[in-house]
Structure 1
Amino acid sequence: MAYEDLIKSIESAADEKNREVLLDADREIEAILRETETELSAIHAQYLEKAKRDLALESNRQKFLAKQEVKRKVSSVRQQLIHEAIDKSLQNMAHIRSDSMYASLYERLVDEVIRSLAGEQIVLHIDPADATLCEKVLHKNGLDYCIEEDLRTIGGLCGTSADGKIRADNTLETRLSKIQEQSTLEIITLILGGPDG
């Protein structure tokens, strides 16, 4: 019987040891699972955060591209409006010679050309349609310059030095072009209320 008790005692100790090993293994497994879940949560959070950043970046990029496209279209419309305004001005000026104010305007244009070429032998280049008016303006002011009727313009004139190296262009087309170049911002402001619409 002592032998049987010894075997039972050994079996009981072995069972107890088995239970302890299994319990330790279960604890270890639970600890590994908890650690794995924690790491998995951290990795998931990192991926989620990266996905959010990537989405925000893409959203910002798309917004930027959309704004750029809107600005491009607005700029295109503005340029079209400016060109239409310039074309309308040219159409309105096409009949300027029949306006009663043209003679005094022409006199001012002649004076500007002469002042800008002061000290030079001046040649006035005019449109044949302004020949009589130009002669009157020169005669009225006691001026005597060489006149060449070699210009086609809706109004105004050009002057050059005798050697042709210096030129003063005072045609209405040139003046309008200068106004367009210098006043694009002002035209945009008048048309649309500011450079950004």
Structure 2
Amino acid sequence: MALSDADVQKQIKHMMAFIEQEANEKAEEIDAKAEEEFNIEKGRLVQTQRLKIMEYYEKKEKQIEQQKKIQMSNLMNQARLKVLKARDDLIADLLNEAKLRLAKVTKDAARYQALLDGLVLQGFFQLLERKVVIRCRKQDLPLVQSAVQKTVPSYKSATKKDIDVIIDQDNCLLPEIAGGVEIFNADGKIKVSNTLESRLDLIAQQMMPDIRVALFGANANRKFLD
């Protein structure tokens, strides 16, 4: 039995409706799949970027921490250097004050004479020369002459050697020298400085560790003692 035009049109519409429904369902399925993949990819990208941001700020934090350590170390070193300089300045001031007080040593004539005797004799033994030249302050010439008279016999007795001593009266030590003597060999190339200032400097150098301990206490960081 042949279909009428109305039946054909009806079937065509039915088929078109079916195809459209299938297409809509397929499109919805594709949209859902795309949405799912989009969300997955978005989540992956977000996680990746979050990790990158965390790594970036962790790196920055470490850099800042390192900079803080360096800055703190620099500040500590600067502070330590300032402390050391202040200590050195204090010691220098004390030594300068001690030098200013050296003049008092010469006020006691007997004590100063004994000191000159020892300084002259020590110079003889240090040089061990056949001929020596002594320089002193102009006002000390009589005291040095007396010291030479007393020490030459002691030197000869100890060394079994003669010694010719010249006191240079034309080239006296400068007035600002507190006292003591300078002793030269014959050609003036070797000198023993036994002025009061040089002896103070020598003693200060030898006693510097004790001076520092007395002023500032023992160094807590020092592991070994000489």
TM-score between both structures, scaled by the size of structure 1: 0.90
1:82-136 deviation per Cα after TM superposition (whole angstroms, max 9, x unaligned)? 1111011112212211134322222111111111110341111111222222122
Given candidates 138, 145, 151, the residue that maps to 2:173 is 151
1:163 equivalent in alignment to 2:187: yes
1:184: Cα distance to partner?
4.1
For these two proteins, the number of residue pairs brought into alignment is 197
Closer/same/farther in 2, CA of residues 98 and 23 from structure 1, 3 Å limit: same
Q: Identify the residue that residue 113 of structure 2 maps to in structure 1.
A: 103
Q: Identify the residue that residue 3 of structure 1 maps to in structure 2.
A: 12
Please say which of residues 48-57 and 99-108 is displaced more in the overlay. Answer: 99-108
**Which has the higher Rg, Structure 1 or Structure 2?**
2
1:26: Cα distance to partner?
0.6
Q: Identify the residue that residue 150 of structure 2 maps to in structure 1.
A: 140
8 Å Cα contact 1:158-1:170 kept in structure 2: yes
Please say which of residues 167-176 and 129-138 is displaced more in the overlay. Answer: 129-138
How far, CA to CA, are the matches of 1:128 and 1:114 in structure 2? 21
Identity %: 24
Q: Secondary structure at the match of 1:145?
A: strand
How far, CA to CA, are the matches of 1:90 and 1:151 in structure 2? 16
Q: Identify the residue that residue 20 of structure 1 maps to in structure 2.
A: 29
Aligned pairs for 1:106-117 (under 5 A) are 106-117=116-127
Q: Identify the residue that residue 158 of structure 2 maps to in structure 1.
A: none
Closer/same/farther in 2, CA of residues 120 and 36 from structure 1, 3 Å limit: farther
8 Å Cα contact 2:132-2:184 kept in structure 1: yes
Give the unaligned 5+ runs of structure 2: 1-9, 154-163, 222-226
8 Å Cα contact 2:120-2:151 kept in structure 1: no
1:22: Cα distance to partner?
0.5
Given candidates 37, 40, 49, the residue that maps to 1:40 is 49
Q: Secondary structure at the match of 1:125?
A: strand
1:186: Cα distance to partner?
3.8
Q: Identify the residue that residue 130 of structure 1 maps to in structure 2.
A: 140
1:138-189 deviation per Cα after TM superposition (whole angstroms, max 9, x unaligned)? 2223455110141132121010011111111111111223344455444333
Q: Identify the residue that residue 156 of structure 2 maps to in structure 1.
A: none
Given candidates 162, 174, 177, the residue that maps to 2:201 is 177
1:72: Cα distance to partner?
2.1
Give the unaligned 5+ runs of structure 1: none
How far, CA to CA, are the matches of 2:15 and 2:49 in structure 1? 49
